[in-house]
Structure 1
């Protein structure tokens, strides 16, 4: 796989994933609950890629791309089917992904159903509710897991525990001992933010993108408080993707998600 990773990165860049896609692949490459699946072409070349991340009874497919010269051969479908099989074999009753408009028909043919869009925004935060925030530490990990489960409906302990050191802030309180967290992602542009109330969530969004340089936040459309704050701060909309599901529904709460790690596993 080490030989194939640079080839996979090249395919994804040519498929439109941008220059930072190599960072996104670091998690599935190194994590025991993730995998990078490739379709090989002539001369041991790589012509297609799909990545996976399994979280107990749920799993994600991301970074699905086919080299331009190998399109219209059904590779996107074949890679998605292979990723679903991999996730099923690792216990995922529900398979999730974020689809572009180009990929959506492929996933619909495989039985995926649409849930909700997430939008990537970029800018510098303005005024926010005053809140006493504290730096996150290892002692907070169990609280982070509990709050994350409440917001996402998934046991994402594997990815949360892989973040060392914890780079972010939290708001004490709430039933989990933590009313909100904001954690910088080592694998993508976004900051993961979960909060039990709009006031805490917006304050954490502001803390994550207070400047001076512009920051990126990926927010579910269903979180109206977050979207209102981004409009008020005049953030620029970058792109969006549609959350889709294969299998039973996950008890997620988009109104508690004020920032996603990325459009791979949310």
Structure 2
């Protein structure tokens, strides 16, 4: 078995791995993720039998995801080999990932510690909410450095490159303002079976709910997904919006946990990218 750097030519085979485990990632999702990060594949007799991606969000923190091994090849140490090589490349960084119940024991062996659950909420057909609140403006390129700073304060991830890529690829980014300064934002983008709303960064639950409500309005009848940490407490409100909890991966960290600086990440970009 060979573990090597992932290339764009590998992505169709990687997308097939996600289909095998019934994850929703499309080829387009893989392509966007590799543009922003790096990856490894495990190859046996010319066939890709495992994958992982990772993203460096600044000099100190990175996220890992899409650690997958083909069903017929499990139990042979492939996941361990992929993770070990990714950790070598990310030496010295604090690392974040979201683990399935099956994957968590592997990550614990490599020094990851469980923190809290992330709950995946979704609906196959959104009923768009009504709201009397004034619409918030769309972000421009000039807003992105300020939004990246808000994201950093919430997560410890510096992701200006991510925000630029999202805007360039047609994602919707709306901005909450206080006294003409950005105080929060929400991203809506195509992903998987439909749309995902996240990240949502806001100083309080009321602002987060206003951002999500506005993000939902154009999505009536669409599949919509939101991934939110359990401690945020959005579940009852999202249930009233018609989104139900369908999965609860464990958030795990290898290194120092980030302490938010007066602002909260109410929804993730994705489980892989944080």
Same fold (TM over 0.5): yes
- 1:81-160 → structure 2 map (5 Å cutoff): 81-88=84-91, 93-123=93-123, 124=126, 126=129, 130-160=133-163
Distance 1:138 1:2 in 2: 27
Check the 8 A contact 2:69/2:78 in 1, yes or no.
Answer: yes
Match of residue 20, structure 2, among 2, 14, 34: 14
- The one-character-per-residue Cα deviations of 1:172-203 (angstroms, maximum 9, x if unpaired) are 117x9212211123566422211112111001
Q: Match of 1:227?
A: 235
Check the 8 A contact 2:190/2:196 in 1, yes or no.
Answer: no
Note closer, same or farther for the CA distance 1:232–1:162 as it changes in structure 2 (3 Å cut): same
- The one-character-per-residue Cα deviations of 1:66-97 (angstroms, maximum 9, x if unpaired) are 01111101111111111112222xxx520110
Q: Match of 1:199?
A: 206
What is the Cα deviation at residue 35 of structure 1?
A: 1.2
Note closer, same or farther for the CA distance 1:35–1:199 as it changes in structure 2 (3 Å cut): same
- The one-character-per-residue Cα deviations of 1:89-141 (angstroms, maximum 9, x if unpaired) are xxx52011010111011111111001111111124353568354111111211
Note closer, same or farther for the CA distance 1:231–1:5 as it changes in structure 2 (3 Å cut): closer
Q: Match of 1:168?
A: 173
What is the Cα deviation at residue 161 of structure 1?
A: 2.3
- 1:58-97 → structure 2 map (5 Å cutoff): 58-88=61-91, 93-97=93-97
Match of residue 27, structure 1, among 23, 32, 50: 32
Distance 1:167 1:231 in 2: 23
Stretches of structure 2 lacking an aligned partner (at least 5 in a row)? 1-6
Check the 8 A contact 2:122/2:225 in 1, yes or no.
Answer: yes
Note closer, same or farther for the CA distance 1:265–1:2 as it changes in structure 2 (3 Å cut): closer
Kindly indicate whether residue 4 of structure 2 is the aligned counterpart of residue 2 of structure 1: no
In the superposition, the TM-score normalised over structure 1's length comes to 0.87
Distance 2:117 2:249 in 1: 6
Check the 8 A contact 1:100/1:242 in 2, yes or no.
Answer: yes
Check the 8 A contact 2:93/2:255 in 1, yes or no.
Answer: yes
Greater alpha carbon shift after TM alignment, 107-116 vs 5-14: 5-14
Check the 8 A contact 2:150/2:263 in 1, yes or no.
Answer: no
Check the 8 A contact 1:93/1:248 in 2, yes or no.
Answer: no
- The one-character-per-residue Cα deviations of 1:35-54 (angstroms, maximum 9, x if unpaired) are 12001111x11111111111
Alignment coverage as a number of residue pairs: 257
Query: Once superposed, what is the RMSD of the aligned Cα atoms?
Result: 2.3
- The one-character-per-residue Cα deviations of 1:12-69 (angstroms, maximum 9, x if unpaired) are 3223323x342332234223xx212001111x11111111111111011100100111
Q: Match of 1:181?
A: 185
